[in-house]
């Protein structure tokens, strides 16, 4: 039978630094706190292994004691004969201590590698996509080898091995409705008993992962842009390039840029930005929304919104002026320099029925 760890991210009020440390919750930090040397790229380069924090302050984390869904899931697992432990992690180090249980046997090359056939399974209880991302980010930091130690058995289109599957236990049932979280988009179970069944009887569904050169990861997507106090979008400029396709060179005003792995940022108000984001197709879908002034036959001016789209393996966004606010898996941040995202096909996985 399986050993199951039910992991909840604790409130930063309970410990200095909070879950994610660095003064930020859920593995988040401001752009200024990100180590510029901690970068990686789609050509097989990974981060330096230094402990830095992701861009953007994450949402405040979960509660001080296990929530009702966690206890209900534990009861359902125990009823099936599983050995269950509930853990509340309030720092990256405490998250890492849980993830160490997923390590595989020692390798001749000395790399820390996941055990995909192990008897320990992980359930992440999440109050937000940012919390799930925090755990995946620590998995990447644990198992992604440095460029100088890249093993021969690593796929050529990846910078890290297959990560161990995780089960997702949403703590907010409402997020499955109008404002859908990633679990709802993926059609994952939300009922604690159904989550327990997925852990014990389900299959591992492999999904794409976005890494970025700020040292973080993205599961759903990112939306760049901002609005004023009245809700009107603000103009900004940036060069946006997808593989070899330039969506804008930075001379035109932008209203928004969406970087999509899944569909969380597919629309903005009533405007469709991303047409077919698929978290398992091995590609990033990117869109920019550009206001264009046109004249009618009578000479009257009006503004229409032009949406340009491209798909590829990697995208870079280079701000031309000032700071560009963004949301990345629901976590707020500000972009002040070039940021690149690239796809890691099938790198992570969820337990599903």
- The CA distance from 8 to 67, in Å, is 9
> Looking at residue 13, what is its pLDDT?
31
Q: Which residues pair with 238 in a beta bridge?
A: 319
Confidence of residue 232 (pLDDT cuts 50, 70, 90): confident
Delineate the domains of the chain, giving CATH numbers in brackets: 3-11+64-201 (3.40.50.10330), 221-343 (2.60.200.40)
Enter the tokens of residue 34.
């990100």
Q: What percent of the chain has pLDDT over 70?
A: 81
Confidence of residue 39 (pLDDT cuts 50, 70, 90): very low
Confidence of residue 24 (pLDDT cuts 50, 70, 90): very low
> Looking at residue 47, what is its pLDDT?
38
Instruction: Answer yes or no: is pLDDT of 41 > 50.
Output: no
Instruction: Answer yes or no: is pLDDT of 248 > 60.
Output: yes
Confidence of residue 61 (pLDDT cuts 50, 70, 90): very low
Instruction: Answer yes or no: is pLDDT of 340 > 50.
Output: yes
Quick check: 168 and 176 in contact, CB under 8 A? no
Burial of 195 (C-beta count, 10 Å sphere; 0-12/13-18/19+): buried
Quick check: 13 and 61 in contact, CB under 8 A? no
Instruction: Answer yes or no: is pLDDT of 37 > 80.
Output: no
Instruction: Answer yes or no: is pLDDT of 236 > 80.
Output: yes
Mean predicted confidence (pLDDT) in 39-64: 40
Confidence of residue 11 (pLDDT cuts 50, 70, 90): low
> Looking at residue 179, what is its pLDDT?
59
Question: Per-residue pLDDT tens for 280-293?
Answer: 999 999 999 999 87
> Looking at residue 67, what is its pLDDT?
86
> Looking at residue 337, what is its pLDDT?
95
Distance from chain centroid for Cα 223: 12
- Give the HSE-up count for residue 202: Cα atoms under 13 Å, Cβ half-sphere: 23
- Mean of per-residue pLDDT scores for the chain: 85
Mean predicted confidence (pLDDT) in 80-108: 97
Question: What predicted TM-score, i.e. pTM, was given to this entire model?
Answer: 0.84
Quick check: 58 and 66 in contact, CB under 8 A? no
Question: Per-residue pLDDT tens for 113-149?
Answer: 999 999 999 999 999 999 999 999 999 999 999 999 9
Mean predicted confidence (pLDDT) in 54-59: 38
Q: Which residue has the higher pLDDT, 299 or 267?
A: 267
* DSSP single-letter state for residue 217: E
Confidence of residue 71 (pLDDT cuts 50, 70, 90): very high
């Amino acid at each position: 039978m399986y050993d199951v760890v039910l992991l909840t991210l604790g409130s930063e009020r309970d410990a200095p630094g909070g879950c994610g440390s660095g003064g930020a919750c859920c593995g988040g930090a401001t752009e200024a706190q990100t180590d510029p040397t901690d970068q990686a790229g789609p050509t097989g380069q990974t981060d330096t292994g230094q402990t830095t924090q992701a861009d953007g302050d994450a949402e405040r984390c979960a509660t001080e004691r296990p929530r009702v869904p966690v206890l209900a899931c534990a009861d359902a697992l125990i009823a099936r004969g599983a050995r269950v432990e509930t853990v509340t992690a309030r720092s990256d180090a405490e998250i890492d201590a849980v993830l160490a249980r997923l390590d595989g046997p020692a390798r001749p090359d000395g790399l820390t590698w996941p055990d995909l056939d192990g008897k320990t399974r992980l359930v992440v209880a999440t109050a937000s996509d940012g919390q799930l991302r925090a755990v995946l980010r620590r998995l990447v930091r644990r198992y992604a080898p440095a460029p100088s130690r890249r093993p021969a058995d690593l796929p050529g289109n990846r910078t890290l091995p297959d990560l161990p599957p995780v089960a997702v236990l949403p703590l907010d049932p409402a997020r499955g409705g109008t404002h859908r979280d990633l679990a709802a988009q993926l059609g994952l179970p939300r009922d604690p008993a159904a989550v327990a069944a997925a852990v014990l009887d389900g299959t591992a569904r492999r999904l794409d992962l976005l890494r970025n050169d700020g040292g973080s990861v993205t599961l759903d997507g990112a939306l760049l842009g901002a609005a004023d106090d009245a809700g009107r979008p603000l103009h900004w400029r940036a060069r946006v390039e997808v593989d070899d396709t330039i969506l804008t060179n930075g001379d035109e005003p932008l209203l928004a840029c969406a970087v999509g792995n899944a569909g969380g940022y597919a629309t903005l108000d009533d405007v469709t930005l991303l047409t077919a984001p698929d978290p398992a197709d091995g590609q990033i879908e990117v869109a920019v929304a550009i206001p264009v002034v046109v004249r009618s036959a009578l000479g009257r001016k009006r503004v229409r919104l032009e949406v340009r789209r491209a798909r590829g393996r990697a995208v870079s966004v280079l701000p031309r002026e000032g700071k560009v606010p963004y949301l990345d898996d629901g976590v707020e941040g500000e972009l002040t320099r070039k940021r690149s995202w690239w796809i890691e096909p099938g790198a992570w996985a969820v337990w599903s029925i």
